[in-house]
Amino acid sequence: MRSIVRAKGLGNTIITCDASGWAGCAPGRYQTSLGDVEVRADGKIVVAGQDRILAGSGATTEVCVAQAAAFASANIG
């Protein structure tokens, strides 16, 4: 991250996030058109009924941006 920000400059760096629709939701089971997913207490989102197949990222955009800023040692405001 630091290398990217140094090379491009903070003003030319774009951060994206792959948060799923359940990121930040309370722990529990949620129904989708493709099947049920489970948000676990630790924030991990998995296909319901097991704990190994991920169903998306549980990190919210706010968390991703804060982590990127910390990795880059940047103050983003």
Number of domains in the chain: 2
Q: What is the pLDDT along the chain (77 residues), one digit of tens a residue?
A: 778 878 888 788 888 888 888 999 999 999 999 899 999 999 999 999 998 999 989 998 888 888 888 887 766 65
Q: Are residues 10 and 42 in the same domain?
A: no
pLDDT for 15 = 81
Q: Are residues 24 and 49 in the same domain?
A: yes
Q: Are 20 and 57 a contacting pair, CB within 8 Å? A: yes
Please tell me the pTM assigned to this model: 0.70
DSSP one-letter string for 3-62: HHHHHH-GGG------B-TTTTPPSEEE--TT--EEE-TTS-EEETT-SSSEEEB---HH
Q: Are residues 43 and 11 in the same domain?
A: no
Q: Are residues 32 and 47 in the same domain?
A: yes
Q: Are residues 53 and 28 in the same domain?
A: yes
Q: Are residues 29 and 40 in the same domain?
A: yes
Residue numbers of the domain that contains 7? 1-17+61-77
